[in-house]
Amino acid sequence: MHDDLSSQIETTADIIRARTHRKPQVGVILGSGLSQLVDHIADPTVIPYTEIPAFPNPSVLGHKGELVLGELGGVSLLALRGRFHFYEGYTMQEVTLPVRVMRALGVETLIVTNAAGGLNADWQVGDLMRIRDHLFLPGMAGMHPLRGHNDDRLGPRFPAMLNAYDADLGAMAQAAARRAGATLRDGVYAMLSGPAFETGAEMTFLRAVGVDAVGMSTAPEVVVARHGGMRVLGISLITNIAHPDAPAANHQEVLEAGEAAKPMFSALITDVLQQIAAGAVNEA
Ligand code: HPA
């Protein structure tokens, strides 16, 4: 049983290695509505998830489900267009398998992105937020990707999660935003399992405990990335305002809103990659 995970990781990494000679340095997980970044990737090798047996087929509208390897901003990149969500019924292990595979391929830096509801009523749809820290509510309640046997080859039994979001990468993102003339908020992201959006009381609760943005992904992937010793940058696109007095969120809005911010998002990520290529972050 215990070797299932590592054999799944290795089998999947082998499938990808057979398709490219590229050794990806940076991995990017593209959240809802943010997949246009892949259009900027040079010399792309595209592998649909349907050709990767261990990957489930993402069911959510707006998620295409392909892995793209190529070059952007001077670095070798592995981008995931479409992620697996806990609310779709996948286990936390399934949700985080792509991060394990990235690590096995040599990826040292993970850039994780998502669509999120902004809890601050002063924020605008289309704002970008650098994730400073997270509240992993399902994980705190026991739905945790590291629960169960620990494979010491993948990481330690009790990994630290303090400062999970790399300060140097965060500073690079802020520098990139300044250059692009964009506002980059800084805040705490809370992951709820979904798929229901929050009640008013839940929004009020989240605000009271210091949460700035709420979504249904990211935290499990970050925990597994940190378990494997990767550096992490997290960016949320605020697609709606999750405030009791604001109109209720809907999925179409999440996909469409913030359309104007998407070129800015691509420019920001590309700038961060250029900084990584320039060696601004030491290898993990
Ligand atoms: N809540 C939860 N998840 C989300 C939201 C939200 O308001 N917006 C985008 N993803």
**Domains in the chain, CATH or no CATH each:** 2-278 (3.40.50.1580)
Q: Quick check: 136 pLDDT over 60?
A: yes
Q: What is the pLDDT of residue 19?
A: 94
Q: Is the separation of the CB atoms in 40 and 16 below 8 Å?
A: no
Please state the rounded mean pLDDT for residues 76-101. Answer: 94
Q: What is the pLDDT of residue 284?
A: 44
From the CA of 117, how far away is ligand 1's center (Å)? 4
Q: How far apart are CA 142 and CA 181, in angstroms?
A: 41
Q: Is the separation of the CB atoms in 102 and 78 below 8 Å?
A: yes
Please state the rounded mean pLDDT for residues 243-259. Answer: 75
Please state the rounded mean pLDDT for residues 18-39. Answer: 90
Q: Spot the catalytic one: 115, 173, 176, 190.
A: 115
Index of the ligand 1 atom closest to the CA of residue 192: 2
Closest C-alpha to ligand 1, atom 5: 117
The per-residue pLDDT of the chain, averaged, comes to 91
User: Catalytic residue at 217?
Assistant: yes
User: Catalytic residue at 163?
Assistant: no
Dihedral sign for Cα 178, 167, 145, 20, please.
Answer: positive
Index of the ligand 1 atom closest to the CA of residue 249: 7
Q: Is the separation of the CB atoms in 70 and 37 below 8 Å?
A: no
* 97 or 258, higher pLDDT: 97
Nearest Cα to Cα of residue 158 among 141, 168, 169, 144: 144
Percent of the chain at pLDDT above 90?
72
> Taking the model in full, what pTM does it have?
0.93
From the CA of 196, how far away is ligand 1's center (Å)? 9
User: Catalytic residue at 87?
Assistant: yes
- Around ligand 1, the residues with Cβ closer than 6 Å are 115-117, 197-198, 214-216, 239-240, 242, 249, 254
Provide the strand spans (E) within 31-119. 42-48, 66-72, 75-81, 109-118
Q: What is the pLDDT of residue 59?
A: 61
Q: 252 falls in which pLDDT band (50, 70, 90)? A: confident
Index of the ligand 1 atom closest to the CA of residue 117: 7
User: Catalytic residue at 251?
Assistant: yes
